[in-house]
Structure 1
């Protein structure tokens, strides 16, 4: 598993840090804003606004970014195919080169994911950094 990056040296403002992380993750995948938008079924301007820090995006957009939109299926004849889905369409991918590329991207994204324990620590750290008004 690759070494995890230290987040504390990055921007301390949560919105800006979120934007930086989005840009970094998209760049690691090697996809443009347009390609990401097409893959997830949202307008590219939404992701541009999120990466610039002008918007946090709707819960639906953030959920689309978070979900693995690809499923891999092993067929009885031994071949592996992929099924991708977004809000607009679903697609069965049978071409070997495309399936291999999707598998590599999926594995790379999975390798970057935080463990449940690390996720909890990250969420708690974010909650401490974000100023909140006391509830009444």
Structure 2
């Protein structure tokens, strides 16, 4: 799980933080950003934060000894939006997907895999606890 998070989530998270910092700092420093562009940047930051946050939260639950995936619909929505968001960002750069563009798809793929493993572990632990109490 940790290797998956380091390969799938960390590079895009660092790229997101760096890009957000550069865009906002440079825009405010030079006063180049108008209210419409600011709202666009804010929307991009909100969607990206939601998707990456769901990914890291699923990773934290995957590493927990007794995972509890509360708010399943929210996490699944974050995963689906993350996959679609990654496809969108990959296609913005070029219609022909290159290997370097697939880095945008990694958070969605890794989050989905971690969610599946965590969900399976949670179900197994719940079944074991039901059997031990019966």
TM-score by length of 2: 0.33
Q: Which has the higher contact order (CA 8 A, sep 6+)?
A: 2
TM-score by length of 1: 0.33
More helix per residue: 2
